[in-house]
Structure 1
Amino acid sequence: MPSHAPEPLELLRQRFDGRPFRTAEAIDAGVSRTTLHRLKQRGELVALARGVLQFADAGMGMLSDLAVVSARVPHGTICLNSALTYWDLTDEIPAEIHLAVPRGARRPSIVAPPTRVHVFDAETFSVGRQQVSTDADEPFWIYSAERSIVDAMRMSRWVGRDVALHALRRYVNRSGAQAARLTELSRELGGGPTMSRALEALLS
């Protein structure tokens, strides 16, 4: 007898082995958006962030990890690759959480969840810093989408040049994108000429 294709949820488990995954990855695996929506309605999948899904029985997800780190380092801010993931500006799901602390503050060492700490200029540390919450109403501090892009562009040696450019491209193609805000932040934080050239290339 011919073998039957696995059910959508089982297919996702086989493909992603319990880890969080992107909606686009699930579609590439053969599961439609309609099916994903149905699985979320049934409580078998949960949304961790925009475009990021997790199996409901997988325990703490990416957002909870962000909240845990933020609770342990209340003066810190989720940044770079982790912030890009939260704002759905990259298809990457980082293996570690990226956390910024202001220069001069105590630099924490966090093993679980795996965390990489970056030291940011104290004078501009609060620019674009905002508090959001998980679905379980757990608060954490993160940089805005616009600041996250600017930081990615000016710190591309940490983030990856391709990742930074992809994030910028995805952002400017969104409804409501604020290219002028990117330029303003770049001038304030550094890297203005680089951002200007990149925006000009994308918008021309």
Structure 2
Amino acid sequence: MSGYDEALARLPRTFTTRTAQANGISRTGLHRLKLAGAVVELSRGVYRNADAPESAHLDLLAVAHRVPRAVVCLISALALHELTDEVPVAAQFAVPRPRNLPVVGYPPVEFVRFDAETFDLGRGEFEAAPGEPVPVYDAARSVVDAMRLRHRVGEPVALRALRHYLTRRDARPGDLVSYARQLDVEGPVTKAVDVVLS
């Protein structure tokens, strides 16, 4: 493996087949590295250096590399922001409309289409592993998305997330209202905020 050690050292901790090839590691070389235990395959075409720090979010890293435009959303985002105890069966990612929904066999993932005009609204990053961010909607946008898609996440989950958010020190109710206005759900969100704060 020594022939690949230098090339492997140049790669990010998590990388795709294409990135490996651009750094001089062929598909055959990648297969040999995998067999030798130097890299782990997280998903088809996505690898992670076996020496990389551990992470509880390898599924998010894998999907973020498979579908770079996708953003962690809904319950997955609420969980990252510690606004729910729910654990989604599959990682939830948004992709912009009218894009076709990507197909990822593993890890389990659920893609949701969000409007292209507001797709980047509230988009931020979460460090899924040291120095390895994945795109995620911020806490306020995640709460508003849960409220507007409560038929999908469940109304109790959405309302609990709203309540948790509003009791946090860093809560910004104005952001909730602003996002709700831009996402065309201002009425229901404002009403829910009033109920929770009363």
User: Does the alignment reach a TM-score above 0.5?
Assistant: yes
Q: Which runs of 5+ in 2 are unaligned?
A: 1-52
Shift of the alpha carbon at 1:123?
0.4
Whether 1:149 aligns to 2:149 is no
RMSD of aligned alpha carbons? 1.5
Shift of the alpha carbon at 1:60?
6.5
Q: Which residue identity is paired with 2:153?
A: V
Structure 2: distance between partners of 1:62 and 1:122:
30
The match for 2:188 is: 194
1:42-80 Cα deviation digits (max 9, x unpaired):
xxxxxxxxxxxxxxxxx9754221111111111110100
Match of 2:152 among 155, 158, 165: 158
Structure 2: distance between partners of 1:176 and 1:191:
22
Q: How does 1:90-105 map onto structure 2 within 5 Å?
A: 90-105=84-99
> What percent of counterpart residues are identical?
40
Contact 2:96 2:115 in 1 (8 A): yes
SS class of match (2:129): coil
TM-score for both structures, normalised by structure 2: 0.70
The match for 1:75 is: 69
Shift of the alpha carbon at 1:202?
1.1
The match for 2:105 is: 111
Shift of the alpha carbon at 1:136?
3.0
SS class of match (1:190): coil
Larger displacement relative to structure 2 (118-127 or 129-138): 129-138
Q: Which runs of 5+ in 1 are unaligned?
A: 1-58
The match for 1:127 is: 121
Whether 1:174 aligns to 2:168 is yes
Whether 1:63 aligns to 2:57 is yes
Structure 1 residues 117 and 181, CA, compared in 2 at 3 Å: closer, same or farther? same
SS class of match (1:133): strand
Give the paired residue count: 146
Structure 1: distance between partners of 2:170 and 2:123:
20
Match of 1:184 among 170, 178, 188: 178
Structure 1: distance between partners of 2:151 and 2:54:
30
Contact 1:84 1:167 in 2 (8 A): yes
